[in-house]
Chain A
Amino acid sequence: MKKCENEEKLIKEALKGNASSFGDLVRHYEKFVFNIAFSFMANYDDAFDVSQDAFIKAWRKLSLFKGDSAFSTWLYRITANTAKDALAQRNRRWSEDEVNEHIPSNRETPEENAIRQENAKELKKALDSLDSDMREIVILREIEGLSYSEISDMLELEMGTVKSRLSRAREKLREILREQNHTISVKRDENR
């Protein structure tokens, strides 16, 4: 996760009560926080609410940020905890309605678009089938694009644990997709 420009200065200003400096941080990290929230909530509106709550908590608790971890890591933990609290009060799963969030590519044929939509739907279902620890680490790696080092820091895990958990999560996903007769694994089998 790339740091916000002048991040230290913005945090320092925000700590003095400068809300607009905090606004710059919000704008930089809004998608990051939202993706994390979405990975937990699996629902756009709930993820939006969790994201808002997470940012507001971050604003209120900014004095607790000591700088010993990356700001993104700190933000992640707040978001994850906020999402887990919200999840404890509800029981949601991936909604079919969320499947088509991705904006279709203009270069796709209608058939390609339909296949991609279907693949996305299957992948989301598979992701939802994982337990939360595995889902969390897959989201951070595959959607947020965080390095192993960043994930290790964010989740407070040893590097070896990050590698092994990710490996197990991917194995599980492939297994689920095979069971769903997903086109990814089907394609490979056809090519044999």
Chain B
Amino acid sequence: MDCKDVKELLGALADGEVSDSEREALLSHIAECETCKNEYEDIQNLKKEFSKLDVQLRGALADSVMKKIYAEAYPKKKKPFFFKYAGTAAAVAIIAIAAIYMGTTPQNDKAECNSAEDVTVTLQASDKLFSDDAMTERVTESTQDGSDYEFSSLGKQDSSTSTNTEAEENKEVPKADAKGEAVELPSSEPAESLFDEPMSSAPDILKSEDITLEEPPCEPESDDISLEHFRFYNSISLDTAIIFVDSEVETVAPLLDNVSSVSGSCINVDSHHSAVMDILISNSIPITKTDIPEGSTETTVFAE
């Protein structure tokens, strides 16, 4: 090899990008040629200098990027029928209203359990309940066609609010089918009644956009469970928490075993929701789910 050919390959030699035969020939030449040897050393020194040169990323580029992407992917949508959570006073009002709907008398609790038709409270999750827009979108998407979430509770049915079909005494509990059709499981325990007199229609307070509860304090679960958006929220009024699971059901299943130990859970599953429903039912977690929009990949259920 002559020096001209060698010089062109010295960089590749330093980068380890030459074949074995080329390497042997180049090293052999370098051993005998001072000029090429010096040039090779220069290149190696230059590489060493570059290895020390590194611009450190300050701050969280990824976090900044994802904040913008989430805002774009899950824009806030104003819904006509918000149930916003804030303030203890509003929470108390909601508890009172829910209790009114429950409306069982202490003497006939058990009978009422079996004979009362379900009272439902129609609501849609508020943007403010969740700490990021992703959560909001996951919940609001499943209500975009007006589907209602039902709380299985005891008390007088109110025709103006209920979206249930009638629940008869000793009715067989239907299971969720593969399409995730509405499933209602009556509560296995009598509901407590704070008020005797049920309300005859959905109170306006539930439709008010001013009602808010304090945002749940819970933090996302750690990464060691390998779930996205896995969070527990403890709601204030209706004793429900919310789990958002953005992962496969195989990962979800062991965690759902813990759901029953949580004081109420609302589970939003981004996929395989039918399978998750089956797991919840098989774990005897009382749930209510209804009216999942056709083709929706999300399910929101409330467990009690």
Contacts and interface: CB of A to CB of B under 8 A. Distances in A.
A101 B54 contact: yes
Given A20-B246, A26-B66, A163 B46 contact: no
Contacts of A23: 62, 66, 69
A120 B73 contact: no
Contact of A44 (B43, B54, B58, B65): B58
Contact of B56 (A19, A101, A124, A174): A101
A56 B69 CA distance: 7
B52 A98 contact: no
A166 interface: yes
A60 B70 CA distance: 12
Interface stretch (B9-17, B80-88, B103-111, B154-162): B9-17
B53 A120 contact: yes
Contact of A143 (B8, B10, B54): B54
Contacts of A20: 134, 228-229, 246
Given A38-B55, A102-B52, A163-B12, A52 B229 contact: no
B55 A185 contact: no
Interface string B47-77: 1011111111111011011101110111000
B242 to A, nearest CB: 17
A19 B73 contact: yes
B42 interface: yes
A25 to B, nearest CB: 10
Interface string A23-53: 1001100110111001000001001100110
Interface residues of B, number: 42
Nearest to A119: B49
Given A27-B62, A38-B55, A101-B54, A59 B41 contact: no
A188 interface: yes
Contact of B65 (A56, A102, A141): A56
A116 B69 CA distance: 39
- Chain A interface bracket (under 10, 10 to 19, 20 to 34, 35 or more): 35 or more
Contacts, number: 124
A154 to B, nearest CB: 15
Nearest to A191: B41
Nearest to A34: B57
Nearest to A35: B55
Contacts of A148: 12, 15, 17
A17 B66 CA distance: 13
A174 B52 contact: no
Given A20-B134, A185-B42, A34 B50 contact: no
B62 A163 contact: no
A55 interface: yes
B69 A31 contact: no
Contacts of B49: 119-120, 123, 184
A19 B134 CA distance: 9
Given A18-B270, A102-B54, 20 more contacts: A19-B66, A19-B134, A21-B228, A34-B61, A44-B55, A48-B59, A56-B72, A59-B73, A102-B53, A103-B56, A120-B52, A120-B53, A138-B50, A142-B50, A142-B51, A148-B12, A148-B15, A148-B17, A163-B9, A163-B11
